[in-house]
Amino acid sequence: MDIRSHEFQARAVAALHDASLQQALDKARDGFVAKRAVQVAELSEFEALREAAKTLKDHVLDHLDHYLERYEAAVVAAGGHVHWARDDAEARRIILDICKRVDARTVTKGKSMVSEEIGLNAALIDAGLTVVETDLGEYIIQLAGEAPSHIIAPAVHKTREQVSDLFEKAHGGPRLTEIADLVDAARLALRERYFQADVGITGGNFLIAETGSSLIVTNEGNGDLTQTLARVHIVTAGIERVVPTLDDATLFLRLLARSATGQETETYTTLSTGPKRAADLDGPEEYHVVLVDNGRSRMLAGPFREMLRCIRCGACMNHCPVYGAIGGHAYGWVYPGPMGSVLTPLIKGLDAAYDLPNACTLNSRCASVCPVKIPLPDLLRRLRHQQFKQAITPRRQRHALAAWRLLATRPKLYHALERLTARALAAIGGRAGRIRRLPGARGWTEGRDLPAPPGRTFLERWQTERGQS
């Protein structure tokens, strides 16, 4: 998928004026947050589990090479194949080669963010394959020709009316408006596709070194139908997804569903180990795993390595006021919200996504809910710092920051200017104490009044009032 993060500002403005989007976001916003809060309150061990998960993930990242090798050996022992992809192009080539070799025509897909990251669908379609997304949310946005706007609820930006329109166009027949009927229509439309599929592609929430299994969680069962009914099953996963044992995976599972959808567990958790066995009546004839690096080993080296703990639950975006106001598409690539604002510049380049680390109020809600305790605001701040150092920050902002530093390191000058500004703003504010139009800050005063300061600085009051007490 082409990156359009450089259009962030224009897309954010458009999102704020998009009535359907705002209606959809309104409906979604509180649901995720409230459901998660209920689950967290019910599990007294939740905080201790977060800490344990952080420690475990750090242990895995410290010994990632070893666990990847052990995982690979276990997959091979179960009759599966492991492929390694340095970047997105290599991952696409590996998957296309498998599809060509098995003479595939139809490819079904369970939800996989890595497949979005590597731009897989476009490559498959270009090669003449029919690609069918089977997760209901992914199916909806595939019909709409859009990218996911949320990592676990890809069609969260769509209203029911919009889904009705899309289904009417795609399936024909009478227009359906009830959610139950829409879900049934998708079920019916996809049923034959599962059985026709030559290749089924899923993601992998965890890869288990102990058994050589890939693990997926879904609520719909689409991932399972995808990987059970296709002749060939291909798993796409980032290299950071490996965990040592089933017990280790369980630690993350206890956090994942609660953080993601506010469920104690998703409906289906499935472990897949190799292809169909000799006596089996169903299951894929071939089982492949594509391990994707695509910037992850680079991340592991530097100050952003904590980002590799991410288990893709989406809690950070569910709790982000910026995401909640503009939705996921404004972010311009695959991963939106706080985790996306860290990942996008790291994978696609600091200058390709300048606005993302800056479109954050550093309110830290994301960090406070992250199940693996990623310090997202710190990482975003660090990205800003790197942008400044590499002169990617626009000149006007650089000058402003340099000027501020000049003042901030000279306290007397700073306080003198502060006193002057406070008095000037108080004078402009007048009796109402509000400033309707402020030269140089039109962007701020266009939509609201600026409350005027009282005329004296905090320091002035502190000095006089402390003297009195």
Q: Which of residues 145-184 bind other proteins (CB under 8 A)?
A: 153-156, 158-160, 163, 179-180, 182-184
In whole angstroms, the minimum distance from the beta carbon of 168 to other proteins comes to 14
Map the footprint of other proteins across residues 13-32, applying CB under 8 A.
24, 27-28, 31-32
Map the footprint of other proteins across residues 110-149, applying CB under 8 A.
134-137, 140
Closest CA to 425 of 402, 457, 400, 399: 457
Question: Which residues on neighbouring strands pair with residue 201, listed in sequence order?
Answer: 109, 234
Instruction: Give the per-residue contact string, 268-307, with other proteins (x = CB under 8 A; - = no).
Output: xxxxxxxxxx-xxxxx-------x-x---xx-xx---x--
Of the residues 132, 201, 209, 346, which one makes contact with other proteins according to CB under 8 A: 209
Judged by beta carbon, residue 92 or residue 384, the one nearer other proteins is: 92
In whole angstroms, give the CA distance from residue 167 to residue 173.
9
Q: Which residues contact 326 (CB under 8 A, 6 or more apart)?
A: 11, 12, 15, 16
In whole angstroms, give the CA distance from residue 111 to residue 140.
12
In whole angstroms, the minimum distance from the beta carbon of 90 to other proteins comes to 6
Judged by beta carbon, residue 89 or residue 432, the one nearer other proteins is: 89
In whole angstroms, give the CA distance from residue 102 to residue 104.
6
The beta strand positions in 180-320, using DSSP E, are: 199-202, 206-208, 213-218, 232-238, 242-243, 268-272, 286-292
Distances (CA, A) of 46 to 52, 55, 313, 407: 10, 14, 15, 45
In whole angstroms, give the CA distance from residue 151 to residue 413.
48
Tokens of 317: 């975006």
Judged by beta carbon, residue 308 or residue 359, the one nearer other proteins is: 308
Amino acid identity of residue 421, one-letter, is T
Q: Does 260 bind other proteins (CB under 8 A)?
A: no
In whole angstroms, give the CA distance from residue 271 to residue 266.
14
Q: Does 254 bind other proteins (CB under 8 A)?
A: yes
Of the residues 18, 88, 116, 266, which one makes contact with other proteins according to CB under 8 A: 266
Judged by beta carbon, residue 56 or residue 356, the one nearer other proteins is: 56
Map the footprint of other proteins across residues 42-71, applying CB under 8 A.
43-45, 48-49, 52, 56, 62-70
Judged by beta carbon, residue 62 or residue 97, the one nearer other proteins is: 62
Q: Which residues contact 88 (CB under 8 A, 6 or more apart)?
A: 117, 118, 119, 292, 294
Q: Does 190 bind other proteins (CB under 8 A)?
A: yes
| Contact range with other proteins by CB under 8 A, out of 112-120, 210-218, 327-335, 358-366 | 210-218
Q: Does 224 bind other proteins (CB under 8 A)?
A: yes
In whole angstroms, the minimum distance from the beta carbon of 138 to other proteins comes to 9
Judged by beta carbon, residue 264 or residue 351, the one nearer other proteins is: 264
Q: Are 350 and 302 in contact (CB under 8 A)?
A: no
In whole angstroms, the minimum distance from the beta carbon of 332 to other proteins comes to 23
Instruction: Give the per-residue contact string, 362-401, with other proteins (x = CB under 8 A; - = no).
Output: ----------------------------------------
Distances (CA, A) of 272 to 195, 286, 356, 360: 19, 12, 36, 39
Task: Name the H helices within 102-202.
Answer: 113-117, 120-126, 136-144, 160-171, 179-196
Tokens of 332: 């311009």
Closest CA to 157 of 146, 169, 173, 166: 146
Judged by beta carbon, residue 211 or residue 259, the one nearer other proteins is: 211
Q: Does 221 bind other proteins (CB under 8 A)?
A: yes
Task: Indicate the DSSP class of residue 156.
Answer: T
In whole angstroms, the minimum distance from the beta carbon of 273 to other proteins comes to 5
Map the footprint of other proteins across residues 68-97, applying CB under 8 A.
68-70, 78, 83-86, 90
Of the residues 112, 205, 213, 236, which one makes contact with other proteins according to CB under 8 A: 213
Judged by beta carbon, residue 85 or residue 339, the one nearer other proteins is: 85
Map the footprint of other proteins across residues 299-358, applying CB under 8 A.
300-301, 305
The site that binds other proteins (CB under 8 A) totals a number of residues, namely 101
Map the footprint of other proteins across residues 427-466, applying CB under 8 A.
none
In whole angstroms, the minimum distance from the beta carbon of 226 to other proteins comes to 9
In whole angstroms, the minimum distance from the beta carbon of 223 to other proteins comes to 9
In whole angstroms, give the CA distance from residue 360 to residue 342.
11
In whole angstroms, the minimum distance from the beta carbon of 85 to other proteins comes to 6
Task: Indicate the DSSP class of residue 361.
Answer: -
C-beta atoms surrounding 191 within 10 Å = 11
Q: Cα–Cα–Cα angle for 254, 317, 186, nearest 5°?
A: 80
